[in-house]
Amino acid sequence: MASRTTFLNVPADSHFPIQNLPYGVFSTPTNTERRVGVAIGEEVLDLAALERHGLLLGGPELLFASTSLNRFMASGRSTWKAVRERLLTLLDTNNPVLRDNLPLREEAIHRQDEVTLHLPVEIGDYTDFYSSRHHAFNVGTMFRGAENALMPNYLHLPVAYHGRASSVVTSGTAVRRPSGQIKPAASSTPHFAPCRLLDFELEMGFFIGGGSTLGEPVSIDDAEEHIFGFVLVNDWSARDIQTWEYQPLGPFNSKNFATSISPWVVTLEALEPFRTPGPAQDPTPLPYLQSKPHSSFDIRLDIHLQTEKMRSPDLIARSNFRHLYWTPAQQVAHHTVTGCNLRTGDLLASGTISGPEKHERGSLLELSWRGTEPISMSSGETRTFLEDGDTVIISGVCERDGYRIGFGEVSGKVLPAR
């Protein structure tokens, strides 16, 4: 795979070489119908156009003339692999079928900067995990002290809560600062006000392709068969609203106002070369959470922050997906162990991804240590939490053997509260 090349021009630093081929949904100024495409270099390949010309799988059902990836995701891993292999063949440097068909290239290939990218999946359910031990320890230390930082269940199961799928938005969508009930520590009663402690959360998520049957758990050995692909996630958080509301049932209004995801879905097949051993787990999880091999992925994750006074953003943190204590396979196995069924389009997110070092912390709550250690920006400003006009940009990339697989980015600008 590392040596494979395409006839299209792909910059050396591109997130989208031929080895990647992530899926998304797009439209163009001349054709506002949404359809499925793949990113290749700085361009988008229109799969609906290739399908019309009989260059993909064929058959009675059209998979790509669709407003979402759901139809394709529901078709199963054998179809995913067949389409990927066909695209690799069509885009190969030495294949003339698409390379030398100039009218078809004109119809099916568009510049990324000239298309509109849309939410790639119709999301039915959204589950947010809490899978980073470093993050859980940091937050627990702030509120309960280091000796009681992790809850008794943390090292035994992947903690999670059910989020709000209707407010998942694609990259570039502005996020309105929420208002809600807030109770300052010095007050005996709450008041209603705009959130003052608005935060980002560095996460990744994956979409369920093939669903499962109600009442039948998914075994950990089969868990990845249900995973279609991964996206970057910023699960915005209103910390002061959450402090008041979260007991006893967990976050609600503090999390339901917006979750941002990147528009390109990177498949499990594209990530295979970047597998890495999963974290050591002590105590040993119960048998239904034990996987062989126990593996994760080496994905570098960067957080940039840009204030309205800045011409370009500052890198404020760098973490890695491999720091997660609970792997995606374990998350699927635990989610379904009760018999809960998964459905095509379900989004499962990792929770905030933090590493062991300060620069690897995945939220402002940690980076500023609950507001006590302000972050210095290149503009001369400081930040403890997000202010109106701030833009958060998260990117992710895997690098090995002379090529990279990237996720692009997920960005969002904070708008004032209404």
State pLDDT tens for residues 371-384: 999 999 999 999 99
pLDDT of the residue at 62: 87
Region 168-176: mean pLDDT is: 98
Summary mean pLDDT of the chain: 96
* Cα 323 to Cα 309: distance, rounded to the nearest angstrom: 33
H or E element: which one contains 90?
helix 77-90
Task: Please report the pLDDT score of residue 246 as a whole number.
Answer: 94
pLDDT of 57 reads 79
96, containing H or E segment: helix 96-99
Per residue in 253-311, pLDDT (tens digit) is 999 999 999 999 999 999 999 999 999 999 999 999 999 899 999 999 999 999 999 99
Q: Name the pairing type of β-strands 403-415 and 175-176.
A: parallel
Contacts of 184 (CB under 8 A, 6+ apart): none
177: left (phi over 0), alpha (psi -120 to 50) or beta: beta
Q: Is the pLDDT of residue 392 over 70?
A: yes
57: amino acid identity, one letter: L
pLDDT greater than 80 at residue 59: no
User: Does residue 315 surpass a pLDDT of 70?
Assistant: yes
Where are the domain boundaries for CATH 2.30.30.230 in the chain? 23-118
Place of tokens 């920006």: 377
Inform me whether the pLDDT recorded for 102 exceeds 80: yes
- Judged against a pLDDT cut of 70, whether residue 36 lies above it is answered with yes
pLDDT score at 216? 98
CATH class, 126-415 region:
alpha beta
Token couple for 151? 């809850």
Question: Both ends of the chain: CA-CA distance in Å?
Answer: 50
Assign 403 a pLDDT band (cuts: 50, 70, 90).
Answer: confident
What whole-number distance in Å separates Cα of residue 415 and Cα of residue 418? Answer: 9
Q: Of 218, 205, 239, 412, whose CA–CA distance to 328 is shortest? A: 205
* Three-state DSSP state, 202: strand
Whether 240 shows a pLDDT value over 90: the answer reads yes
In the DSSP assignment, the letter for residue 251 is -
Q: 3-state DSSP call for residue 413? A: strand
pLDDT of residue 2: 76
Band of residue 368 on the pLDDT scale cut at 50, 70, 90: very high
Superfamily of domain 23-118, CATH level 4: Fumarylacetoacetase, N-terminal domain (2.30.30.230)
Provide the pLDDT confidence category of residue 400 given band limits of 50, 70 and 90: confident
Q: Is the pLDDT reported for residue 58 higher than 80? A: no
135 has catalytic annotation:
yes
Catalytic entry in 15, 110, 135, 323: 135
Q: CB of 105 within 8 A of CB of 119? A: no
pLDDT class for 130, splitting at 50, 70, 90? very high
Q: pLDDT by residue (tens digit) across 181-224?
A: 999 989 999 999 999 999 999 999 999 999 999 999 999 999 99
Q: Which residues contact 194 (CB under 8 A, 6 or more apart)?
A: 177, 178, 179, 416, 417
Dist CA 290 CA 285 (whole Å): 6
Per-residue confidence (pLDDT) for residue 265, from 0 to 100: 98
In the chain, residues under CATH classification 3.90.850.10 are 126-415
Number of helices (H) and strands (E) in the chain: give both, helices first.
10, 26
Q: Could you say which DSSP state residue 287 is in?
A: G
What residue has token string 């570098």?
300
| pTM assigned to the model | 0.97
What pLDDT does 60 receive?
59
